[in-house]
Each structure stands twice: as C-alpha cells, then as structure tokens.
Amino acid sequence: MTPTTIPVALTRCADYSPDAVESAVRSVLDAAGVRPASGTRVLVKPNLLKAESGGLCCTHPMVVRAACLYFMDYGCRVTVGDSPAFGSADKVAQAIGLADALTPLGVPVITLDTPVSVTLPYGMTVGISRHALETDLLVSVPRVKAHTQMRVTCAVKNMFGCVAGVRKALSHTTHGDKRNAFRAMLVEVAAALPPTAALVDGIVGMDRTGPSGGDAFPLGMVGAAQSAVALDTAVYAVLGAAPEMIPLWGELRTRRTHGAFAEQLSYPLLAPEEVAAKGFRFPGALTPETFHPLRLLRSAIKRWWMARS
C-alpha cells in the first residue's frame, strides 16, 4: 500500500503580536490535523538554546504561548520543556520572556533531565530525558535557523534537546567524527520519542550563521504537521534548499523516511512557493560535527557554574 501524503499547513504571520500569532498557530495546527484527546499529556518542546540577548536563538515566547493555548483548549495537560546548552530551562525562559508569557496560563517550564539510557538501532546509547519519553504527545516547536554544522535546522534537530544535559555535547564528541554517525543519531533519537507533532516559528528566522549569533531574517510564516520530518521538508522548500545542502535531510532521504520527499506532502493552506523566502543566507563550508574534548570540558564547567548561579 502506498503511504498517504502528509498534510503540512503553512500560513503567513507578519509579526509576533499575540492575536496574530494565536490565530496563525491555531490555523496551521488545526489544518494539519493535530487534534489530541482531552487529558492527553502534551510536552511542548521549544528551542531554548541559551539566554542570548534578544532571544533570537530561541523559539519566540508568543509562538510557545499560542501552542500551549491550543492544546489547553483541547483539555490537554501541557508542560513546556527543553534541555538548554547552558543553564536551566526555567532560567532561559525567564531571560527571554517566556516565563512571563506562560505564568498567566499556569503552564510549567521544566528542564529535560532525568536521563534514561536508550540504545539506538545504529548501536549508540544515549540518555534521553524521562520527561520526554513518558509524555503522550511531544510537540517540537523550533525557530527556523541557520546552523554551521547542519546548514539549517528545524523540527527534527530540535528533538535532540530531549537528550539530557551535557550528554548532548558528549554525543558530539563521541560520534561527531564518525561518518554519518551523528546524523544517524539525530534521526534515531527523534524516532525513539513518543508520537510527535511539529510547529515551526518562521516569523523571524536566523540566517548567516547559527545556532546562535546569526542575523534576524523575516520569513513571515508559521507551519505545522503531524510529522517533524514532513514539516522540515516543507521548510527546506520555503528556503529554496536542495537535499544535498542539508546533511540531516540527506540522511532522512537515504533511509527513505516518509515525509522526506516533496511528493509525499500535501498543503491544505498555502504551498511553499506562496511563502517562499528570498535571500536567506545559508552558512558556507560546514564546521565538523564533533566537539574537541577541551570544548566538552569547557561546556561542562560552564553548565556547572550556571547551575550554581
């Protein structure tokens, strides 16, 4: 039997005003068929990379808030969580204004810690947060960003944040210098998680470099799908990327992952060409996926110091 196409809902959203974002987010999640049953435990997983000035390296608080409102209206039990590169999720949330946005809703922000050892098909073992593994529905909510190792990242890469704490950096060090091993791990971590939907913050993306330190690039769109892979494929089309440009996309296509091919998608709202971005600057030569052991040590010390602070 030929698999059915995956609906990917795309719509325009010009700015982060609460009403505009809430309307756009509701529109795409509903059109994509993301309609959980009442009582579903939903973990909204934004990208809370670190407390960077302006918050550009993180998912915008209004998008996270709108996602929470949508699932709360379905009677879901909603939690927001991530495992930042530095600091705790609640401290990053406070720094970027997410805590202020969620406090009136009573939605908690948690750090995705308490690792559970999971052996992946590729043979690697990673520590994935119990909070992520035990939810009923995981919702990946990334911001569209350039990335110096992956060229651009979105919903699939965002789920790597379910690997607890310094184990993410350790995975870079252990597997980053092996051919395709790190990309395989990203794909298999995503596959090891509970059912996942995806919502992308493409209102203002980050181009030129990343995952932090890049420039604001107005895309003016949001999108959603029941498949993180399918949503990423649509976003690549919006940006005008080709499969050979994006290492993670290439890995997914090599595995014949459903949703990694344009012909496997359908668009109930707008098509990629209707929200296409012109002039998005991708990083040039990619940096190695491995982390030098000294970088891993510095990362561990910085995490320890920020936790004490």
Assigned domain for 306 exists: no
Assigned domain for 85 exists: yes
Q: Are 233 and 249 in contact (CB under 8 A)?
A: yes
Assigned domain for 257 exists: yes
Note the pLDDT tens digit of each residue in 155-213: 999 999 999 865 445 554 454 455 578 899 999 999 999 999 999 999 999 999 999 99
CA separation for the pair 20, 304 (Å, rounded): 39
- Among 13, 4, 1, smallest CA distance to 275 is for 13
Q: Which two tokens stand for residue 305?
A: 């110091």
- How many residues belong to the chain? 309
pTM of the model: 0.90
Output the pLDDT for position 296: 47
Note the pLDDT tens digit of each residue in 246-277: 999 999 999 999 999 999 999 999 999 999 99
How many domains does the chain fold into? 1
Q: Which two tokens stand for residue 134?
A: 């035990």
Assigned domain for 6 exists: no
pLDDT level of residue 225 (50, 70, 90 thresholds): very high
Assigned domain for 23 exists: no
Note the pLDDT tens digit of each residue in 56-95: 999 999 999 999 999 999 999 999 999 997 789 999 999 9
Assigned domain for 78 exists: yes
Assigned domain for 135 exists: yes
Output the pLDDT for position 104: 97
Assigned domain for 19 exists: no
Across-strand partners of 205? 217
Range of the domain at 169: 29-300
Q: What is the CATH number of the domain that holds 139?
A: 3.40.50
Note the pLDDT tens digit of each residue in 119-131: 999 888 899 999 9
